[in-house]
Chain A
Amino acid sequence: MIPFDYRRPDDIGTAVATVTGNPRAAFLGGGTNLVDHMKLGVAEPELLVDVTGLTSRDIERLPDGGLRVGAGVRNSDLAADPLVRERFPVLAQALLSGASGQLRNLATTGGNLLQRTRCVYFQDVTTPCNKREPGQGCSALEGYHRHHAVLGASRQCVAVHPSDLAVALAALDAVVRVQGPGGERTIPAETLHRLPGEHPERDTVLEHGELITAVDLPGLPFGPRSRYRKARDRASFAFALVSVAAALDVAGGLVRDVRIAFGGLAHKPWRARLAEDALRGRPAAPDEFRAAAEAELADAQPLRDNGFKVPMARNMLVSVLTELSAEDGAA
């Protein structure tokens, strides 16, 4: 680790201005990912600006039946919140499927979204990696890439985003509230993360110095009928091979509305718009779910060793939607 300065400003404006003014400054939330990266030499900030006392740790009700989650809300608190569990079970399930109890006690909502890929090459500074050091090349393309992307990747980078929370938020049409040097703006959660393209070093559309202050969950009447499922190598403390976040609204045996996002397939949470469009107005039946999943995954381009992700994603979506359509309380 190289030496760094640490500051704990009194207000968000100062924090944003401080980071904006120093290209080698970084915000510090729970530190569960950034501090690891500093130990590994993956990140070498010269200034850490601690925002854990600045961003809200509250979960507020919104008039439309939604919730506003402060960026400082710890993952464990968010997962345990009664309103979250009641209105958006997919979100609580996604959080609880990630990391470990100790990590969830520290990790924040904002920080969780900004965690970086777990690609072994990204985390090993002795190997080439375009995300860590643009222009070095991608070691995973021909290397160990069982966990890597099958959708939306580029020759520059085949990493996947590891957050479970982000997948649920993408499915729920969440909106990320951001404070930057020029004021506040909002970004749909679905578009917060980007595909690698020619710039894999950029995970998100945030500019340097922009701070996530809150995440809004708009009201979703069928939110209670939602689910998160995650396939992984071990039942706890493991990242997703594939995950699915879905909410389903069924009326008269037909899909009235649906929200679907995949994790583990791409450089960003993969909102499955094609599948959603294919399903609206169609019978809530497994063969329809399967056709929708196949439509979404038609462009998948697996690498040598991760072809399993395509049928796995398809089968998981079919099973999650089938279970949701059979749930009591169908509208």
Chain B
Amino acid sequence: MPGSLLGTEVRRVEDPELLRGEGSYVDNLAIEGVLHLAFVRSPFAHAEITGIDVSEAEKADGVVAVYTAADLGLPPVRQFMEVNRDCVRPPLAEGRVRFVGDPVAVVVAETRAAAADATELVDVDYEPLDAVVDPESAVAPDAPLQFPELGSNIAAGERDEIGAGVLDGADVVVRARIENQRVAVVPLEGNAIAVVPGGPGDEHDLTIHVSTQAPHALWVAAAKTFGLDRERVRVVAPHVGGAFGGKFGLIAEYEVAVGVARRLDRPVKWVETRSENLQSMPHSRAQVQYAELGLTADGEITGLHCRVIGDCGAYAGFGGGFALGPTRTMSQGVYRIPRISFGAIAALTNTTPTGAFRGAGRPEAAAMLERLMDLAAAELGMDPVELRRRNFLRPDEFPYTTVVGATYDSGDYDLPLREALRLAGYEDLREEQARRIEAGEQVLLGIGVSTYVEITGGGGGGEYASVEMSPEGRATIKVGTSGHGQGHPTSFAMLLSDKLGIPLESVDFVQSDTARIPRGGGTGGSRSLQVGGSAVREAGELLLRKAKELAASRLEADVADVELTADGRLGVAGVPTASLSWAELATAAAEDGERLEANTDFTPGGATFPFGAHVSVVEVDTETGFVRPLRHIAVDDCGRVLNPLIVRGQQQGGAAQGISQALWEQVTYDEDGNPVTGTLADYLVPSAVEIPALETANTETETPHNPLGAKGIGESATIGSTPAVQNAVVDALKHLGVRHVDMPLTPQRVWRAVRDARAGTLPSPWREPPQAFDTLPVRAEGPNPHADEAAV
């Protein structure tokens, strides 16, 4: 048998099609007679709707219909994850709008232009209400309420009873109020949907082509929402231009699109504009963290006290709930922390609802903890690397259950750290840093370290996969994950090729179609290879077993003697002349009226916990505050690596987005709740010029939870990179007394920190959290309900 492909750099089989522009996205689909939707959106962050007049719009050329909430009568939006069931979101606003961009009416027209034009003819009367824009003022006693019947803007919240008691007995306590700012997801392709209603005799009552990362979940939601049997609904995701956590669920606009298609019994399409995308796709992060770490004088952690507000945005967007879930679950990080008290609030604000973005609650935990570690190192006069090492969990302690109830599968946290420091040349960098300070140079060097662990492939779900061999000798994989750039066609074909001894070119790949794949968990939470890949491998194994039985019967041999030959046939051991090709086997099966097929539902042993160490090297100009990232070293341990090329791509993309959060990106609103960063001219996604050369490497610590030994890699580098960069910037200024600067580390913020430090007027990084934390209910005893949660 030729050498295995596993662990080797295999170029992506799906790229030629994409590079030639042959990919097919929702907007490319040619749908006969399709109508176009355009939404009338609220220009107010918070207002009562006192009247809607659509009569002028209805008369406009090309307009087929204009609908408000009252016309369509659709049920509430099914939130992808529910933070508070009483914060009901109608897909078109009813009575009240709650953020700028909230859809109020929809225009249906023969062309996209006619639809867009007619939205301007819809006359909506608003009675503006006071808006709450930031999550801390949202929980103030006198805050205007988004859902008055709720009695507060706290959509969810809980705390541990012990509170600051976990810091008792500490020799030193470091504390900071840390903002993990709101960012936008910004996929290249925004939301897009095309809905085709079925006619009499059609196989489906409803076919939905949609840009999503989880078609089966959307399928279930669509069937439930519209009271249809699932079998009568088909959801297909064609090529998807990036998702990053932002494309889950039957969102408000999608529900409207389906409702309109059914009402008119005509196909409809909605492809959002970039401006709409920045207003309507969930934002993420958006936490304010009050964090305190207690240590002994020699640097041993004694306790961690966190009070975190997650910003839900409007309608209790699920991103605000991450404060209670994954952020708490990962709050212990890679360290031995004997006691943790965690209070969390999911707060309502009159802003775009929040949701998931690459990491979804775990980056916030890592950033908080890694800032605290650097604060503590500075307080104790220790090297930040040494302090981390002193508190690492040891490799022989796994599986390890943390005090917040997560069970880490495997880990060796010093392993990637050693490698990252070696690649960085840590000691030389520290010397150069000292030299510049000594010489009184204007441009200083900062070296930031982060060590992290995160949770992937959780949520308790398994995955479906099937493999079928055709009489032509081609294998078709069908799998319930839904890749959109991650390399699944390549990775999964590699696994099958290895299992069946067939070339990659003989493997076809099917995903993201509910009519062809019975169930699936989609792609999120870095689950696809470890869960979906394991399912494909298992289905391949089952197919091989079937094939061996068939070969044994045809070759009149004992099944135990049938083996895969070096040239990819099934033969009898020791009898070179007795063998059958895969095509012959499939043909033989067909002659028996059978298909050479196997399928499985793979269930992993549990969530996996990838980890790693990042080192960021930055230059900070003390006169201008400008930060230039010089180098970024990412050593991420995602267990056993299947295809280093794909892993590297995930590390690079992840690190770019993480660096970008640290330095540039932030969604902002003015005090009335108007978005200030509503276009890509204002919202600073970086260009290639800004991102430094990325130096990536891996260590490989296998997980016992799946046969591949693989953990997720999709989000790791985003999680590791952000705090490394933030720590690097603060590190460059620590000799001046700077201990914390919030992200994004704009020149203005950095310059102010330098100025204040030189003037001796640096503000304390700490202030007392809002009183609202004291009123939260105490968390119920027992296991952490979020312990295995990394579904997004």
Contact = CB atoms under 8 A, between A and B. Distances in A.
Interface string B613-627: 000000000011000
Interface in A231-280: 231, 233-239
A41 interface: yes
Interface stretch (A19-27, A49-57, A120-128, A196-204): A120-128
A233 B746 contact: yes
B690 A235 contact: yes
B298 interface: no
Contacts of B686: 234
Q: Is the contact region of chain A dominated by helix, strand, or loop, or is it mixed?
A: loop
Contact of A234 (B116, B623, B664, B671): B664
Contacts of B674: 120, 124, 126-127
A236 B687 contact: yes
Nearest to B746: A233
A92 to B, nearest CB: 18
Most interface-central of A120, A124, A127 (chain B CB within 10 A)? A120
Contacts of A236: 687, 689
A144 interface: yes
A6 interface: no
B120 A2 contact: yes
Interface in B704-749: 746, 748
Given A2-B120, A120-B676, A234 B687 contact: yes
A126 B113 contact: no
A205 interface: no
B678 interface: yes
A120 B682 contact: yes
A54 to B, nearest CB: 27
Contacts of B678: 120, 124
Interface in A208-247: 231, 233-239
A308 B670 contact: no
Contacts of B113: 1
Nearest to A118: B681
Contacts of B680: 237
A41 B121 CA distance: 12
B207 interface: no
Contacts of B602: none
Contact of A1 (B117, B689, B746): B117
A149 B296 CA distance: 52
Given A127-B674, A235-B687, A315-B623, A2 B117 contact: yes
A118 to B, nearest CB: 7
A234 B684 contact: yes
Interface in B658-690: 664, 668, 670-671, 674, 676, 678, 680-682, 684, 686-687, 689-690
A331 interface: no
Interface in B426-440: none
Contacts of A234: 664, 684, 686-687, 690
A114 B408 CA distance: 61
Contacts of A127: 674
Contacts of B690: 234-235
Interface in A274-331: 308, 312, 315
Contact of A239 (B43, B116, B664, B681): B681
B609 interface: no
B751 A235 contact: no
A233 B687 CA distance: 11
Contacts of B682: 120
B623 A237 contact: no
Contact of B116 (A1, A120, A231, A237): A1
Interface residues of B, number: 26
A139 B673 CA distance: 13
Interface in A2-29: 2-3
A144 B677 CA distance: 10
A143 interface: yes
B680 to A, nearest CB: 8
Interface in A133-165: 139, 143-144, 146
Nearest to A235: B689
A41 B746 contact: no
Given A144-B668, A308-B751, A233 B684 contact: yes
Contacts of A146: 748
Contacts of A120: 674, 676, 678, 682
B120 A41 contact: yes
**Most chain A beta-carbon neighbours within 10 Å: one of B44, B671, B681:** B681
A237 B681 contact: yes
Interface string B689-709: 110000000000000000000
Nearest to A127: B674
Interface in A91-140: 118, 120, 124, 126-127, 139
A35 B120 CA distance: 17
Interface string B32-44: 0000000000011
B117 A143 contact: no
Contacts of A144: 668, 670, 676
Contact of B748 (A118, A143, A308): A308
Contact of B687 (A237, A308, A312, A315): A237
Contacts of A312: 624
Contacts of B751: 308
Given A1-B116, A2-B117, A120-B678, A143 B670 contact: yes
A274 to B, nearest CB: 24
Interface string B90-128: 000000000000000000000001001100100000000
Contacts of A308: 748, 751
Contacts of A126: 43-44, 674
Contacts of B689: 235-236
Nearest to A316: B624
Contacts of A237: 680-681, 687
Nearest to A162: B681
Contacts of A231: 624
A242 to B, nearest CB: 11
A127 B671 CA distance: 13
A239 B680 CA distance: 12
A120 B681 CA distance: 10
Interface string B410-439: 000000000000000000000000000000
A265 B664 CA distance: 23
A132 B676 CA distance: 18
Contacts of B687: 234-237
Interface of A: 1-3, 41, 118, 120, 124, 126-127, 139, 143-144, 146, 231, 233-239, 308, 312, 315
Interface of B: 43-44, 113, 116-117, 120, 623-624, 664, 668, 670-671, 674, 676, 678, 680-682, 684, 686-687, 689-690, 746, 748, 751
Of all A-B residue pairs in the complex, the 9 with the closest CB atoms, nearest first, are A126-B43, A235-B689, A144-B676, A236-B687, A143-B670, A144-B670, A234-B684, A233-B684, A235-B690
18 contacts: A1-B116, A120-B676, A124-B674, A124-B678, A126-B43, A139-B670, A143-B670, A144-B676, A146-B748, A231-B624, A233-B684, A234-B664, A234-B687, A235-B687, A237-B680, A237-B687, A238-B684, A315-B624
